[in-house]
Amino acid sequence: MKRSLQGKYEVISRVGGETVKAFIPNPLPPDPPIQWGQNLRAKFDQALVSLGRLDVICDLLPDASLFLYAYVRKEAVLSSRIEGTQSSISDLMLYELDEEPGAPLDDVREVSNYVRALSYGLERLEELPLSLRLIKDIHAILLEKGRGSERTPVEFRRSQNWIGGTRPGNAAFVPPPPHSVVPCMGQLELFLHDQPLATPVLLKVALAHVQFETIHPFLDGNGRLGRLLISLLLFEKGILRKPMLYLSLYFKTHRDYYYELLNKVRFQGVWEEWLDFFAEAVIDTASGAVETAQRLLQLAQESEKKIKTLGRSASSALRIHRALLKQPITNSLAIQEATGLTPATVNKGLERLCNLKVVREITGQKRNRLFSYVEYLKILNEGT
């Protein structure tokens, strides 16, 4: 079975002998249907098992929200790095403390917007299904107060964009013309809601990601939003109870092949190769997330053992340690707010944790000091 172009071209300009064509994708699901060979079916089954293990890890963590706080920020950094930002996890955490980050402020704002956009999307999905309205609202937060904020967030684009090159005429890919964006996105919304027919969740997520990136409905932020939608869809459909699967590192590591596969789907209809890649990304990323969670849990338990040697002062020190699990770079004021402990108790507790080498003071100052849970951050920073 051989497919061909998964859409049609529309001429959008003829200037100086140069003809520019935009690509309008066919609606999902693919026609003819996906060919489920034995290897591809086995790969998708393995991906679902990996997601199940990742979901179970939430039950093993004493408080999954503590792990998620930092893990979501790692994804925000990685997804924004693909777009060229230089912010690190530490820069983001400093920014959230109203401290001066080491990276350009616009870069850090962009990463902070990603965290807020994801949080907003998850909150809304508790009440509403994923819709075009919600996608627009998430996009508005993604581009708020930073690069791209002037590029009509909340609205689908009304002008032509392109990917690669300096103009549509020499671009690597030209998405649909503006008048086709709303109809294309409307068809994608119907597909997400199982119209014209129901689609298994993981397959739906894989197909929808390509379709969204092909439509490129906004003037900016499409890549970040397309990656974010993977996690939101898996959460909405109940595959993951917590948003713990983030494919940005895998896409970043295999960036050239990722873009090659998107074009092979569009122009040759090679959906099966993309699905094999996507399933492998899920397996690799889910397994890595489970391992990371286990290592962070082990580190936390080892730190707790050290802290319990403090005797009577161990109780307050353990509360400070818990605050550090959520915010591995912090200051005494933030810990006071998180724990309800007095300034004197917090400062004494931090001093004891430094003596135990659980945390490290990183400014070298006597005032306005910052503390880092160094080993915890080291694990989180892997891959960034």
Q: What is the CA radius of gyration of the chain?
A: 23
When pLDDT is averaged across residues 16-24 and rounded to a whole number, the result is: 88
pLDDT in tens, 139-193: 999 998 755 545 556 789 999 999 988 888 899 999 999 999 999 999 999 999 9
pLDDT surpassing 60 at residue 82 = yes
Residues of the chain with CATH 1.10.3290.10: 7-292
Q: What is the pLDDT of residue 44?
A: 97
Instruction: Give the SS3 label for residue 86.
Output: coil
Delimiting residues of CATH 1.10.10.10 domain(s) in the chain: 304-380
Using one digit for the tens of pLDDT, what is the confidence trace for 143-155?
A: 987 555 455 567 8
Q: What is the mean pLDDT of the chain?
A: 89
- The whole-angstrom separation of Cα 366 and Cα 344 is 14
Dihedral sign for Cα atoms in the order 336, 341, 342, 347: negative
* Angstrom distance (rounded) from CA 317 to CA 123: 32
Could you report the per-residue pLDDT of 313-335, keeping only the tens digit for each? 999 999 999 999 888 899 999 99
pLDDT confidence bin for 208, thresholds 50/70/90: very high
The predicted-structure confidence for 49-60, as pLDDT tens digits, reads as follows: 999 998 888 777
Residue type, position 280, single letter: E
- Check residue 153 and give its pLDDT: 61
The DSSP secondary-structure symbol of 239 reads S
H or E element at residue 296: helix 271-307
What are 157's two structure tokens?
A: 């684009």
Pairing of strands 371-372, 360-361: antiparallel
Phi, psi (deg, nearest 5) at residue 142 = -60, -35
Q: Note whether 140 and 154 are within 8 A (CB).
A: yes
**Residue (of 145, 125, 149) closest to 135 by Cα position:** 125
Which amino acid belongs to residue 172? A
Residue 97's region, left for phi above 0, alpha for psi from -120 to 50, else beta, is alpha
Encode pLDDT of 265-281 as tens digits.
999 999 999 999 999 99
Distance CA(247)–CA(259), nearest Å, equals 14
Task: Please provide the DSSP assignment of 333-373 as one string.
Answer: HHHHHHH---HHHHHHHHHHHHHTTSSEE-S--SSS--EE-
Topology annotation, domain 304-380: Arc Repressor Mutant, subunit A (1.10.10)
Please give, one letter per residue, the 3-state secondary structure of 244-259: CCCCHHHHHHCHHHHH
Residue 268 is which amino acid? Answer: Q
pLDDT in tens, 289-306: 888 888 888 999 999 999
Q: What digits encode the pLDDT tens for the residues 215-232?
A: 999 999 999 999 999 999
Going by pLDDT thresholds of 50, 70 and 90, the confidence category of residue 245 is confident
- Residues facing residue 20 across a β-bridge: 13
Give the pLDDT score at 320. Answer: 95
pLDDT at position 2: 63
CATH number attached to the domain at 7-292: 1.10.3290.10
**Percent of the chain clearing pLDDT 90 (strictly above):** 62
Q: In the sheet where 329-330 sits, what is the strand order?
A: 329-330, 371-372, 360-361
For 276, the token pair is 């094999």
What pLDDT was estimated at residue 151? 52
